[in-house]
Each structure stands twice: as C-alpha cells, then as structure tokens.
Structure 1
Amino acid sequence: MTKNILIISSNYTGNGHKSISEALCEQFALHSNVKVTVIDGFSLGGDSLLKIGKSYGTITRTAKGLWQLIWDLSSIKPSIINEIIELTITDKFMELFKSVKPDLILSLHPNFNGSIINIMEKNKIKIPFITFIADLVSIYPLWADKRADYIISPTIEAMEKCIQFGVPETKIKVLGFPVRSKFYNSPDIINQYGTYNKPLTFLLLSGGDGVGNMNKISHILLSNFNCNLNIVTGRNSLLKKRLEKSLLEKYADKVHIYGFVDNIEELMVDSDVAFTRGSPNVMMEAIACNLPMIITGALPGQEERNPQYIKKYNIGAVCTNVRKLKTTIDNLLSHDASELIKIKECQKNYSDPNIAKNIVDFIIQV
C-alpha cells in the first residue's frame, strides 16, 4: 500500500526550507511505496499570506530591526501567530488534505506547526504530525509545539531549547541537518594553502537573498590577497549590479559575480575559503563540501547564535568586524595554514552524508 506524505515547506523565506525538502525528497524517491506532496505553506493563505512569505528577502536585507521585532513578537505570543495562520489557511488546507489524503504530515516551517495542529484537532484528523527544525541553536517557540507526535532536531542545542519550551524529550529525535546529495561529491583533497604562488579562490555568498556588506568584504579580499573571487548575490539583482559597477573595472580578471545559482556546490568545490552569513543551510552545505568558511554576520533571532556554534565545533571561523577580516585570514593561512586544515578535519568528523536517509527512514517507520 502506498503511503502518502504531505510536506509543508516554503519557497520564498530564504532557500533553506526548499533545500531541506529537496534533500528529503531525494531519499523518499528511493521508496516505491511512498508518494510525497510538497506544498508552500504560505500559498495556503492565498495572495496575502504569500506576499508576506515573499517579503522575507526584502526585510532581512533592508530592515534587520523589523526582523528582530517580528522574531520577538513571535517568541512572546506564539499562540496568537498560530491562531492567525490557522484562520488564514484553514479552507485551502482542508481542500488540500481531502485531495492528498496524507497518512503523515511533515512541517519544515515554524508558522505551520501549531496552526495546522489546531486545524487537525478541530477537524478530528488523527494522523502523525512531525516537525523538522530548520534552525541550529536559536529557535522560535513555534518550532516546539509539544502536540506534535515527533520533533526532529538537527542539533543537541536545538533539542535543549525544545525541552526548555516544554516538549518531552521522548518526542525529540536528534538526527542532524539534511543536505542534498550533490554536496557530498567533492573530491577528498587537502588543499595546499601554505603558498601564495597559486592564487587562492575565495567564495563570497550570503544565502539565497544576498545580504551582508559584500562590497567592502570584496575590496578587502581583492586588495590584500593573491586571490580570485567568486561572488553569489542570490536574488538581490540590485546588489549584483552595484558590485559589478564597483569591482569589475578594477578587478575584471579576478572577480566573477553571479546572481541566484543552481550549481553552488560546484563553486564550493572549486573554492579554498567561503565567506557567508550564518545561514544554517549554507553553512551545512559548505561543511558537506569540506569547505572552510568565515562567518561574517547573522540575522537577529534564529541565526544569532550560529557563529558561536561554528566556533564550538571548529567547523569554521567567525569575523563579524570587516576591519579584522585581513587579520583573521592571515591567522588561518599562517604556519602552512594549520588552522584551516584543522577546520577541514573537524568538518569531516562533523559531516554525515546519511542524515537525510536516516530522517526519511525514521519518518517511514512512524
């Protein structure tokens, strides 16, 4: 008998939820008796809710204070958020439910955990509901609805936060952060960083929406190091144009500027060091590619403790002050790049290509 699984994801609030969904769907596809339907949760609320989802990139690029306020309000009164979302999505969710007839629901976005559980309770729908937490350390209370049958946590730190929010430990499964299989195909090579005879290849990126002080960082890298620089600006087309105007005339042969790309894993494999915001999805993809990274900033709220997490496990370095960036890189490259090589070794110990498979196996058992 075919098992129908409904995944509630998000296509526009960054690229992380979509990437997680794709990583899991790769593994679900290996099971002939499983049918998966993926829906953008924001689309269940019609145009108004979808516009809110699409505004994520604009807010996080230009109004971090507003994003902090949204985070704080959601943390203080999660039940209100659940009720508002519930009222907005009930009709379309019930239509979807009757069409798909799922045997299990998996939610990958915090806005659709408590809200959908509310709908299920009121309509006496009794099927398993599982949440996967798409953040590493700092999590919304919206992630931690103890009415879920299980909450899959990517880290021990996120599990501990769930317990603080009142979720029984027996409901939490720490299974890691799933990454698409193509990121694990990088060659097993320890780069020779200790010489400047060959230009280093730096990769500057900041998630699907392209945020951060990328212009200043680019000038520091290109003017102080023997390097080639690949820059990925994501969906931020205005930033791409600004960087092209600022950099191409002076550094034409050393810099390549991309918008949103589908082959980021190829750029990662070809790079020596990446510079990125503390986006969990980007960080985990870099680790899968065994690419040392320097975290240059983090969004308030869900990302703010990710730099400390990176340092705790020595799977990257942190430099949030661009004036100290040159010194940070010099320290990593000194003594035949011993610190960079240690980071690569720690990444290998941390990384596990079976995470997505293990998560899917657990869900199917449920």
Structure 2
Amino acid sequence: MTKNILIISSDYTGHGHKSITESLCEVFSQNNNVKIHVVDGFSLGGNTLLKIGKSYGPITRKSESLWELVWNVSTLKPLLVNEFIELIIRDNLLKLIKEVNPDLILSVHPNFNGSVINVLEQNKIKIPFVTLIADLVSIYPLWADTRADYIISPTVEAKDKCIEYGIPEEKIKVLGFPVRSRFYNHEEHSGYKSDEPLKCLIMSGGEGVGNMRKIAEVLLGNFNCIVRIIAGRNTRLRNALTKSLGEKYGDKVEIYGFMENIQELMFSSDIAITRGSPNVMMECTASNIPLVITGALPGQEEGNPKFAENYNLAVVCTDIKKMKDTIENLMKNNGENLNKIKKSQRNYNTANSAKDIVNFILSVISND
C-alpha cells in the first residue's frame, strides 16, 4: 500500500531548505511504495506569507542588523509567530491535507512546526508530525515543539539545544545533515600542490552576501591563484564583480550566478571561502574542499564557525586584513594544514544521513 508523505519546505529563504528536501527526495524516489508531496510552506499563506518568505534574501543581503532583530523577536515570542502563521495557513493547509491524505508530515522549516501542529490539534487530525532541523548549532525555539512526534537533529549540539528547550531526549534523533548525493560523487582529491596556482572558490550562500570583491583582491594580489566567485541570486553583485574584477584580472577570475551544478566547481578547487551557511558548509565538507569561514548571519548561523573549527572542517577569518596570513598558514609546508582539514572532513563524512533519515521516517509510518 502506497504511503503519502507531505514535506513542508521553503523555496525562498536561502537555498538550504530546498537542498535538504531534494536530498531526501532522492532517497524516497527509490521506494515505489512512497509518494512524496512537497509544498513551500510560505505558499500556504498566499501572497502575504510569500512576500515575507521572499524578503529573506533582500534583508540578509542588505541589513544583517534587521535580520538580527527579526531573529530576536521570533526567539522571544515563538507562540505569537506560531499563532500568526497558523491563522494565515489554516484554510490552505486543511485543503492540502484533504487532497494529499498524508500518512506523515515532515517539516524542514521552523515556521511550520508549531503552526501546523496547532492546525492539526484544533481540527482533531491525527497525523504523525516530524521536524527535521536545518541548522547546525544555534537553533530557533520554533524548531523545538514538544508536541512533535520526533525531532531529527543534524548534530549533537542541536540536540542539546532542543533538550534546553524542553524536548524529551527520546524524541530527538541525531541523524546528521542530509546533503544531495552529487556532492559525494568525486574521486579523492590529491591535495594542494605548491607548483600549481591555488584554485579558490568564493561563495556566500544562495543569496550572495559578503564582501567578495575585497577577498578576491587579497587573493589575486598576494598569491598565484585562480579565483572563482559564486554571486548566487544576487544579479547586481555579479554584474559589479564582473566589471570591477574582470577588467583588472582577466582570466584569473571567473564570476558565476546561481548554479545547480556548483559541486563541479567545488571538486576542482583547493579551497572555499564562504560565510557560515550550514548548507554550504556541509556541501563543501561532502565535496572535501577545505573552508575559510568569513562570518555568519546573526541568529541561526552564529554558532557555525566555532562548530566547524571544533571538528577541523574549516578555519575562521572574520577580518579581511588577516586573510593573507590565513591563506599562507594553510598553504605552508606544501599545504600541510589544508590537507589536515581534508582528512578531518573525510572523517566527519555524513554521506548516509539522507538514507538514515528516510529509513527512520518510514519506520515511523510502519509503526503508526
């Protein structure tokens, strides 16, 4: 008998929620007895909520202080957030549930945990509800609703935070951070070679935030290197970088927009320089490319740089004035420190996470 699973994700608040959903759908597709229905949770609230979701990109690009305010308000008043979203999504959610008739609901966005459970409870609908946390360390209270049947955590650190929020330990399953399979489909890198140009990849998540131009100028002005920059959806940034760097450095610099096959650039790079986006960090780790983390968004990314350092998945350099020394330290002794990071990334490998998560979700359905 076919089982229906409803996944509530997000298309516009960065690219991480969508990437996580895709990684799970890859595995679910191997099971002919499961039908997956994915919905952008913000679309359930019509134009009002969609506008809120689409504002994530402009806010994080232009005003980190405003994003920090949004985070803090949401953290202090999670019940109000849940009630607000519940009010907006109720009718469309109930209509969707009637159409899909799900055997389980999986949420991969914090805004659709308590709000969806509210709707289910008020309408006396009993469907297993599972939350999959899409952050690594610094998690919203919105992720931790005690009424969820289970919460899937990517890390022990996120699990500990859930327990602080009052989630019973037996409800939390630490199953790793799911990454799409194509980021693992590479041969083992031979490592950096000092007689070749250092191949650098600069990126900053799907929204293209961060001071990429200055970082590129430090690299191009001090090292024998080739610099590739991913500007994400930020078209204005891409055009500005193409003009300012392309004219000066020619074929030593390549500027890209949002890419579906970004793993190909990762596989052919010696080092990636990025902000502490959990999805980008874990995709780089899967691709076995050493990281330099230049900062993190306030709120959900704050703990990520330290997390990466603790597991030696990256080094952290938040001051561009220290970027030259940071790169030199990684490259010395024929890339000794770069290769240590690569080894740590291989040891951290979470290639089976998506499969483990899917198997757990299927077990919940079979036991229901």
Give the TM-score normalised by structure 2.
0.98
Aligned equivalent of 1:358? 356
Q: Percent identity?
A: 63
Identify if the C-alpha distance between structure 1 residues 156 and 74 changes in structure 2 by more than 3 Å, giving closer, same or farther.
same
Deviation at 1:192, TM superposition (A): 3.4
Q: How does 1:311-350 map onto structure 2 within 5 Å?
A: 311-350=309-348
In 2, the alpha carbon distance for the partners of 1:352 and 1:163 equals 23
In the alignment, what sits opposite 1:187?
A: 187
**Preserved CA contact (<8 Å) 1:190 1:341:** no
Residues 1:350 and 1:91: Cα distance change in structure 2 (over 3 Å): same
Count residues in correspondence: 364
1:352 is displaced (CA, Å) by 2.3
Aligned counterpart, 2:293: 295
Separation of aligned partners in 2, 1:35 and 1:68: 38
Aligned to 1:269: 267
2-structure distance, mates of 1:272, 1:341: 10
> For 1:279 and 1:146, how far apart are their aligned partners in 2?
27
**Offset of residue 190 of structure 1:** 2.5
Deviations 1:240-271 (A, max 9, x none): 11111110111111011001111100000010
Matched AA of 1:98: K
Counterpart CA distance in 2 for 1:306 and 1:145 is 22
Maintained 8 Å contact 2:266/2:287? yes
Measured in 1, the distance between the counterparts of 2:324 and 2:111 equals: 40
- What is the alpha-carbon distance in structure 2 between the residues aligned to residue 78 and residue 352 of structure 1? 31
What CA RMSD, in Å, does the superposition of the two structures yield over aligned residues?
A: 0.6
CA distance in 2, matches of 1:116, 1:253: 51
Q: Would the aligned equivalents of 1:109 and 1:134 in 2 still touch at CA under 8 Å?
A: yes
Q: Distance in 2 between matches of 1:105 and 1:281?
A: 22
- The C-alpha deviation readout for 1:169-210, integer Å capped at 9, x for no partner, is 0000000000000000111123133x1x31111000000000
Q: Aligned to 1:297, what secondary structure does the other structure show?
A: coil
2:232 to 220, 231, 234: 234
Corresponding residue number in structure 1 for 2:250: 252
2:208–2:230 CA contact under 8 A, matched in 1 = yes
Residues 177 and 350, structure 2, Cα contact 8 Å, conserved in 1:
no
Q: CA deviation at 1:48?
A: 1.0
Give the match for residue 105 of structure 1. 105
Q: Deviations over 1:74-130 (max 9, x none)?
A: 111100000000000000000100000000000000000000000000011111100
SS in 2 for 1:157: helix
SS at match of 1:262: coil
User: Secondary structure of 1:7's match?
Assistant: strand
Instruction: List runs of 5+ in structure 1 lacking aligned partners.
Output: none
Q: Deviations over 1:2-60 (max 9, x none)?
A: 00000000000000000000000000001110000000000000011101101101000
Residue 129 of structure 2 is aligned to residue 129 of structure 1: yes
The corresponding residue for 1:5 is 5
Residues of 2 paired with 1:48 and 1:41: CA distance?
12
Deviation at 1:338, TM superposition (A): 1.1
* Structure 1 outlier segments of 4+, above 2 Å: none
- Structure 2: which 5+ residue stretches go unaligned? none
1:32 partnered with 2:23: no
Question: Could you give the per-residue CA deviations for residues 54-76 of structure 1, whole angstroms, max 9, x where no partner exists?
Answer: 11010001011110011001111
- TM-score for both structures, normalised by structure 1: 0.99
3-state secondary structure, aligned to 1:201 = strand
